[in-house]
A and B are shown apart, each in its own frame.
Chain A
Amino acid sequence: MSLSSSVLRAVSGLLTPHEREAVLGDFAELGANDWRSIADILDLYFRRRIMLWKSWRPWLAAFGLAIPSSLTLMGLSVSIAQSGQRWINACVLNGAQVTLGPGFALLLSNIVLLVAWSFTGAFVMGSISRRTVRISVALSFVPCAFCLARFRIESLSRLCLLLFMIPAAWGLAHGLRFAHIRLRSAIFLAAIITVLTIPAWTSKGAWLPNWALSWPAWYLVATASRSAGSLKDRNPWQTN
């Protein structure tokens, strides 16, 4: 097999099976040379990728969710890691009595918020624009790389920045498989997030990041309620 045929074969893998069949058949019928065919396939592939970005969805997933959410959730991840470390030091290592006071409640509330925000944000990111999800995920790593390089807290591991990634990966996997979640689950998540962010409403600077992280939960409520009437209740996760 010649070099051009091998490259053509590899490049045609960028197309879907049906499209590959039709396009390679067209080339064979027209007697197109391999290098011209390679250029044509790349042209088709990039046109398809560009067409995806004519919709608002990939823009919202990449710049309305991936970047701002990962930036904010990294801050919350570090805050939880520090609070957790302080609590463990005080209660376990120093042998002090375990007290479930306001500090512990705040830590617990932040953990629940981190899980709920990460899950809902990643779910929406995966479900609203599946075909550009790799770019969204790559963009969410940009703030992470920046912060990992500048992380200067001696007592904490750099990996604390990435605590949010675990529930986010869980949410993303579900978002890629399903368009929306059951209405009851969506309302439950949105209600928990809203109730837990109430204390921050009075603080001046916190409302913006809170709403930037909370809207995906209410988006899930909206999509779930829109489809609740038409879909059967076969599975807790409703498919497209």
Chain B
Amino acid sequence: MVGEFEYVLLTAAATLGDDAYGAAIRQQIESTTGRRCSIGALYTTIDRLESKGLVATWMGEATSERGGRAKRMVRLTPQGVRAAKDFYNAIIRVSRKASWAVEGRKGTV
């Protein structure tokens, strides 16, 4: 099973779709979690996910706003989607009877 940060990264990349690359994933993670995401943690985790076959990466186009430098694009593989789903389902199962999950469900009814 993937780790917590790996799951966050996979979810951010899946949300961004075709626009998933280093800086965009970093901003997505920071805005949704409210925590700083270092470049070191981001790129070493991308490498680890790639070595596990959960994401594929390639060098994308260079843009002027990036000073003419290329992006490292990221896309989830079918195994990556499966791994993220497994993690999500496990969290849902684990949390089912937790007070905050029960309260959350009551609040939405």
How far, in angstroms, from A30 to B67 measured CA to CA in the complex? Answer: 11
**Count of chain A residues near B, Cβ 8 A:** 20
**Residue in A closest to B46 when the chains form the complex, CB atoms:** A22
Known interface pairs A18-B72, A30-B27; A25-B67 also in contact (CB < 8 Å): yes
A44 touches B23 (CB 8 A): no
**Count of chain B residues near A, Cβ 8 A:** 23
* A43 to B: closest C-beta gap in Å: 4
B71 touches A25 (CB 8 A): yes
Say whether chain A's binding surface is mostly helix, strand, loop, or mixed. Answer: helix
B69 touches A24 (CB 8 A): yes
Known interface pairs A30-B27, A43-B38; A23-B22 also in contact (CB < 8 Å): yes
The answer to the question of A47 belonging to the interface, with a C-beta cut-off of 8 Å to chain B, is: yes
**Residue in B closest to A26 when the chains form the complex, CB atoms:** B23
Q: Which A residues lie within 8 Å of B40 (CB)?
A: 40, 43-47
Known interface pairs A18-B59, A18-B72, A51-B44; A25-B23 also in contact (CB < 8 Å): yes
Interface residues of B in 12-32 (CB under 8 A from A): 21-23, 26-27
How far, in angstroms, from A24 to B23 measured CA to CA in the complex? Answer: 10
Q: Which B residues lie within 8 Å of A23 (CB)?
A: 22, 39, 43
Interface residues of B in 55-70 (CB under 8 A from A): 59, 62-63, 65-67, 69-70
**Residue in B closest to A51 when the chains form the complex, CB atoms:** B44
A26 touches B26 (CB 8 A): yes
B44 touches A21 (CB 8 A): no
Q: Pick the most buried of A22, A23, A24, A47: most chain B CB atoms within 10 A of its CB.
A: A22
The answer to the question of B98 belonging to the interface, with a C-beta cut-off of 8 Å to chain A, is: no
Known interface pairs A19-B43, A48-B44; A25-B70 also in contact (CB < 8 Å): yes
Known interface pairs A40-B38, A44-B40; A22-B27 also in contact (CB < 8 Å): no
Q: Which B residues lie within 8 Å of A28 (CB)?
A: 65-67, 69
B39 touches A21 (CB 8 A): no
**Residue in A closest to B59 when the chains form the complex, CB atoms:** A18
Q: Which A residues lie within 8 Å of B26 (CB)?
A: 26, 30
**Residue in B closest to A43 when the chains form the complex, CB atoms:** B40
Q: Which B residues lie within 8 Å of A43 (CB)?
A: 38-40
Q: Which A residues lie within 8 Å of B22 (CB)?
A: 22-23, 25-26
Q: A29-B65, A51-B48 given; name 5 further pairs at CB < 8 Å.
A: A18-B59, A24-B69, A25-B23, A44-B39, A44-B43
Nearest 5 interchain pairs by C-beta: A25-B69, A43-B40, A25-B66, A22-B72, A44-B40
Binding site for B on A (CB under 8 A): 18-19, 21-26, 28-30, 40-41, 43-48, 51
